[in-house]
Amino acid sequence: MYDPNQADTRVADLRAALAAHGITRPSLGVDLPACAARCPTRPPMITLELLATPAEVSGVRGALRPHGIDVQLCASELVTTVIRHVGEGVPVTVRVWRDGGRVRLGVTDPDPRALPVLVTVVGSESESGRGLALLDALAVRWGVEQEAGCKTVWCELLVPVPETPERPGRRRRSTGALGQASARS
């Protein structure tokens, strides 16, 4: 899962950053150790490095198919947002972490200034402005992490935990060396 020592360090960093803005823990109403524990501390399951183009969006969806339609939809919306607001052809990194029934998706682009804005009212004739509303509806939570030369827009989604195909006491069918089905215990 996570290293408790790292979580303690993250909590201290969060408290220091918040205190610099006059925000103290009681005023937050959140459990900082729990928030730090949810931050990914291990390498992502999937890392896709690509240029943000409309053709690459379908490739991202295909690569994320095992994680479900909601993850695919959020990823394609975030990459499309980069294309529209940062520029076509910019380098993008898509990362996926899975922890039990929760998936964290992060899309990193090279422009820390172009921040996403959730539009609450979109006209019926508008051709854009619904991507973050979709993400907001599907995700448990989402946000932006800014660094010196980039930003990452991330979201966390609840997904079903895949059932294990192994069941004690049951025989599993597998394909033999000649392509014929055979029973194996």
pLDDT in tens, the chain (185 residues): 344 455 556 556 656 665 665 555 444 444 444 444 445 667 889 999 999 999 999 999 999 999 999 999 999 999 999 998 899 999 999 999 998 889 999 999 998 887 776 666 555 665 555 677 888 889 999 889 988 899 999 999 998 765 555 555 544 444 444 555 544 43
- Residue corresponding to tokens 């975030």: 78
Q: Which amino acid is at 119?
A: V
What is the per-residue pLDDT for 30? 45
Domain boundaries, the chain: 1-42, 44-158
- What CA–CA distance (Å, rounded) separates 63 from 82? 18
From 3.30.565.10, 3.30.930.10, 3.40.630.10, 1.20.120.340, which CATH number describes the 44-158 domain? 3.30.565.10
The answer to whether the pTM exceeds 0.75 is no
Backbone phi, then psi, for 95, in 5-degree steps? -125, 145
